[in-house]
Structure formats: structure tokens, C-alpha cells
């Protein structure tokens, strides 16, 4: 420091440079602060951006899932979650589907089929009552006890069947049909007109005993009421009740393809997950996935065997049971119509008026019986009461031959001979051959119905425990999947 320097100069000498200019110390300090300020701001900005991104991800499930799925533990978690839900949902769906099929089979055999059978009995009983009343009338005087008993039994069967046929096959409670039921009007017709018919028959019977010719007029009126009102109504009821069991049968003959598809898709998913774990963890087997795969494979195999066997049994019930049953029932209905036409022709003493009805009805019976016999002998139907069918065919031919003989006797005025040949007890009478045809067809119907019910029962037995079994196996698989993934996810902690 110079000797002539003042104290003030000494104090400010540090602020000057060697050439007398102010020193750059303060400027350097400012520069240093300005150079360190931008990184601090960038750090704060980055922190704010990370906070904002985290908040956005927390608010967006898709972004959160994308973040989780980008890591291996996250992938394991999502796969385990998907397989767990898949096992539970697939098992529940398969169980519900099989339970519905089992319930349909049970309802078919316990409600729909008996109601359809009652409708058939109703129709047949009314036809038998009409034919029996006509036969008893033309016997003259005091009618035979057997014919009178046959008429009484037919009316009683018709009344009892009417009550059963009035039940709806679609309701578990067995409630009577209501106005919404398509057969309600026919049921009302039968209920109202059946007592009217029996009253007319009793009036005709009383006049016939007294020898009053007016008795035939009452019987003609009764028979007209039966043919024009009661029998058509009963036939419509029978057709509607038969259709009620046809649709469930058609549905049950189809395998549950969607159930099988979901089970196979789930098994494929379990195999793919196992391969993925093998590549990521270098472990060949995963105990949880292995147990789940075994459980679902066993359930699928169980359903394949039980379901397809049930379908085969249901198909057998339709082909060898329901179809022949419907055909034989139609044949018996035509048979009763033919007998009514034959006996009524003697009441009216006019063979030609009803001859076409008899010929048409018996031709229909012959066509049904011949077709069933051809189906059996050709192998298209393997389980048919062929002995009864052949017996009915033979007796039907004899009956048609006898009817031609009755026509010849009426043509020459031999009414008594025609009457004896129509309702007489002889072995070659029309009554005998008609009874043989009817008995053979009834036996065939009984056997066909038994075959149908047995096949439906067998189908139900195969599905009886499948619903519960697949549900339990799916629960085992559902629990095994997260257990299998748990240890693999813990390894990334």
C-alpha cells in the first residue's frame, strides 16, 4: 500500500483492479448465483411434472393398469386375476347351464309328458265313448253289459283326463289353465258340452229301450256334438300339449357347445400362463396352475362324457319313444273315428254316407303301422314294439274285410246280419277285430311311452351331479391360481 494513500482508499482498494478499475469480485458472485439458479428451477419443474404424472395415473385406471402391466410382477398379478375370474365365471356358467338342462328333463318327465298323455287319453276316451254308445244302441233293447261298461269307463276316463289336461305344462305349481292359455276355449267347450252329450245319450238309450224311433234322432244329435265339437276341441288340446314337449326335446338333443367352448378356452389360457411363467421364472412347473389345469380338464372331460351321453339318451327318447308314440296315438285316434263311422252308419241305416270316413280313417291307421314296421325292419328305429304293431296290422286287414261284408249285407237289406257282424261277439265280427287292433295299438303305445320315459330318466341321471361337480372343480381351480402366482410375485419384493 502506498504511503500517501488515504484510509478511504485503503478500504476500497479491494474493489478495484490493478489498473484502478473496480474489481470483478461482486460480478463474479452474481454470475455464480445466476449459473446455479437454472438447475434448481429445472429440479423443481421435474418434481412438479412427476407429481402431476403420478396424480394423472392415479386418476386414470387405464394408465394405472398400463403402469402395472409394464412390470413383470404386475403382469403376473393381472394374469392371475384374469385366470381366477375366468375359472369362477366358467364354472358358474357351466353349472347353471347343466342345472337348467337337468331341470328341463325333470319337468319333461314329471309334468309335460303326463299332461300330454292325459290329453291323448281324453281324445281317445271321447272317441271310445261315442263308438260304444253307437254300438250299444244298435244292439237293440237292453244293451250288452260289456258295451255299457265300456261307455261308462270311457266317460269317466275322459272326465278325469280333462282335469289333468287343463294343467299347464309350463308351470311348476300345476295351476289350471287361464284365459291366456291357447287351449282355454277348448277346455271350456269340453267342460260345458260333455254333460250335454251324456244327457243326449241317456235320452236316446231310454227311448231305445222303450222302442221309440225318436231314440235314433237323439243319438244322431249326440254323435254330431261329439264329432263336430268335442273331438276337434280335444284334438287341439292334444296337439298343443304334445308341442309343449317337442321343443324341450329338440333343445336337449343339442350338446351345450358354448359350455364346451368356454371350458376349452379356459384350459388354453391356463396352458399359456404356465408357459409364460416357465419362460420368465425358469421353472418348468407351477403347482397352483398345475392343480387348476387338472381340475378344469377333469371337469371338461366329465361334462363331455355326461353331456354327450345325455344327448344320445335324449335323442333315443325322441326317435324311439316320442316319435313312435305320437304316430301310434294318431293311429288310435283314427281307429276310434273309423269305429264311430262304422257303428253310426248302422244307426242311420246308411252305409254309403259314412263309408268314405271309415275308409279314410282305416287307411291312415294302415299307413302309420306300415311305416313303423318299415322303419324297424330297415334299422332306422331300433326299439319298437314290432310284435304289437304286426298284430295290429293283421287285425286291421281282417276288420277292413269284414266291413266290406257288412256293406254287402246292408245293400241287400240284411240289417240284422249286418248288425250281428258289426257288434256281435263272434270271432269274425267287426267288434272283435276292432278290439284286437285297439288292444295291440294300446300295448304299443304303452311300450313306446315307457321307452320314452326311461330314456329321459337316463339322460337326467347322467346330468344329475354334473352341475355340482363342475362348480366344485372350478372353485378348486379358482383357489389354486392365486396360490400358484403368490410365491412368484413375492420374489420381486
Cα-to-chain-centroid distance, residue 340? 38
Q: Is the pLDDT higher at 16 or at 454?
A: 454
Q: Do 136 and 175 share a structural domain?
A: yes
**pLDDT score, position 85:** 93
Q: Do 136 and 217 share a structural domain?
A: yes
Q: Do 194 and 303 share a structural domain?
A: no
Q: What is the pLDDT of residues 95-139, one digit of tens each?
A: 898 888 888 888 887 777 788 888 888 888 888 888 888 888 877
Asked whether residue 81 is domain-assigned, the answer is no
Asked whether residue 14 is domain-assigned, the answer is no
Average pLDDT of span 315-326: 84
Asked whether residue 229 is domain-assigned, the answer is yes
DSSP secondary structure string for all residues of 119-177: HHHHHHHHHHHHHHHHHHHHT-SS--HHHHHHHHHHHHHHHHHHHHHTB-TT-TT-PBP
Q: Do 486 and 425 share a structural domain?
A: yes
pLDDT beyond 50 at 211: yes
Q: Cβ of 372: how many Cβ atoms within 10 Å?
A: 26
- Of the given ranges (28-42, 158-172, 258-272, 450-464), which has the lowest mean pLDDT? 28-42
Domain containing 409: what range?
253-493
CATH of the domain at 144: 1.20.120
Asked whether residue 188 is domain-assigned, the answer is yes
Asked whether residue 261 is domain-assigned, the answer is yes
Where does residue 23 rank: exposed (0-12), middle (13-18), buried (19+ CB within 10 A)? middle
Beta carbons within 8 Å of 172's beta carbon, 6+ residues apart: 107, 111
> What is the pLDDT confidence band of residue 64, given thresholds at 50, 70 and 90?
low
Q: Do 248 and 259 share a structural domain?
A: no
**pLDDT score, position 181:** 64
Asked whether residue 19 is domain-assigned, the answer is no
Q: Do 445 and 357 share a structural domain?
A: yes
- Of the given ranges (1-5, 133-137, 141-145, 342-346), which has the lowest mean pLDDT? 1-5
Q: Alpha-carbon torsion 473, 478, 481, 482, what sign? A: negative
Q: Do 356 and 231 share a structural domain?
A: no
Q: Do 449 and 367 share a structural domain?
A: yes
**pLDDT score, position 155:** 92
Q: Give the cell for residue 88.
A: 369362477
Average pLDDT of span 332-354: 77
Q: Do 269 and 242 share a structural domain?
A: no
Number of structural domains, the chain? 2
Amino acid at each position: 500500500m502506498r504511503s500517501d494513500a488515504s484510509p478511504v482508499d485503503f478500504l476500497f482498494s479491494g474493489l478495484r483492479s490493478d489498473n484502478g478499475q473496480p474489481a470483478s469480485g461482486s460480478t463474479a458472485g452474481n454470475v455464480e448465483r445466476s449459473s446455479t439458479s437454472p438447475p434448481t428451477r429445472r429440479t423443481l419443474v421435474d418434481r412438479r411434472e412427476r407429481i402431476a404424472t403420478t396424480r394423472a395415473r392415479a386418476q386414470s385406471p387405464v394408465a394405472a393398469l398400463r403402469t402395472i402391466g409394464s412390470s413383470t410382477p404386475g403382469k403376473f398379478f393381472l394374469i392371475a386375476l384374469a385366470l381366477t375370474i375366468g375359472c369362477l365365471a366358467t364354472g358358474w356358467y357351466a353349472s347353471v347351464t347343466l342345472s337348467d338342462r337337468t331341470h328341463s328333463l325333470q319337468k319333461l318327465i314329471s309334468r309335460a309328458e303326463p299332461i300330454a298323455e292325459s290329453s291323448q287319453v281324453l281324445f281317445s276316451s271321447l272317441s271310445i265313448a261315442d263308438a260304444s254308445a253307437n254300438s250299444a244302441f244298435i244292439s237293440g233293447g237292453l244293451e250288452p253289459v260289456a258295451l255299457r261298461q265300456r261307455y261308462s269307463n270311457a266317460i269317466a276316463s275322459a272326465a278325469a283326463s280333462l282335469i289333468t289336461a287343463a294343467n299347464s305344462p309350463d308351470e311348476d305349481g300345476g295351476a289350471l289353465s287361464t284365459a291366456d292359455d291357447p287351449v282355454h276355449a277348448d277346455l271350456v267347450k269340453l267342460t260345458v258340452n260333455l254333460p250335454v252329450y251324456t244327457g243326449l245319450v241317456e235320452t236316446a238309450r231310454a227311448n231305445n229301450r222303450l222302442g221309440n224311433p225318436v231314440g235314433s234322432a237323439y243319438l244322431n244329435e249326440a254323435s254330431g256334438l261329439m264329432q263336430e265339437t268335442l273331438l276337434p276341441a280335444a284334438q287341439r288340446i292334444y296337439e298343443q300339449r304334445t308341442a309343449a314337449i317337442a321343443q324341450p326335446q329338440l333343445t336337449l338333443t343339442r350338446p351345450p357347445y358354448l359350455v364346451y367352448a368356454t371350458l376349452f378356452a379356459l384350459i388354453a389360457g391356463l396352458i399359456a400362463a404356465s408357459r409364460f411363467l416357465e419362460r420368465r421364472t425358469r421353472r418348468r412347473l407351477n403347482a397352483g396352475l398345475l392343480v387348476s389345469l387338472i381340475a378344469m380338464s377333469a371337469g371338461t372331460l366329465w361334462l363331455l362324457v355326461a353331456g354327450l351321453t345325455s344327448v344320445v339318451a335324449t335323442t333315443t327318447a325322441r326317435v324311439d319313444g316320442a316319435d313312435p308314440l305320437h304316430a301310434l296315438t294318431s293311429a288310435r285316434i283314427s281307429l276310434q273315428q273309423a269305429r264311430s263311422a262304422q257303428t253310426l252308419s248302422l244307426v242311420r241305416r246308411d252305409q254309403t254316407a259314412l263309408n268314405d270316413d271309415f275308409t279314410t280313417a282305416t287307411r291312415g291307421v294302415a299307413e302309420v303301422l306300415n311305416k313303423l314296421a318299415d322303419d324297424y325292419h330297415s334299422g332306422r328305429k331300433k326299439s319298437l314294439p314290432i310284435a304289437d304293431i304286426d298284430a295290429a296290422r293283421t287285425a286291421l286287414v281282417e276288420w277292413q274285410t269284414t266291413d266290406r261284408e257288412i256293406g254287402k249285407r246292408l245293400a241287400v237289406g240284411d240289417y240284422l246280419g249286418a248288425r250281428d257282424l258289426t257288434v256281435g261277439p263272434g270271432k269274425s265280427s267287426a267288434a272283435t277285430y276292432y278290439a284286437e287292433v285297439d288292444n295291440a295299438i294300446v300295448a304299443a303305445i304303452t311300450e313306446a311311452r315307457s321307452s320314452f320315459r326311461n330314456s329321459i330318466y337316463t339322460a337326467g341321471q347322467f346330468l344329475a351331479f354334473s352341475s355340482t361337480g363342475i362348480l366344485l372343480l372350478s372353485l378348486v381351480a379358482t383357489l389354486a391360481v392365486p396360490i400358484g402366482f403368490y410365491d412368484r410375485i413375492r420374489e420381486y419384493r
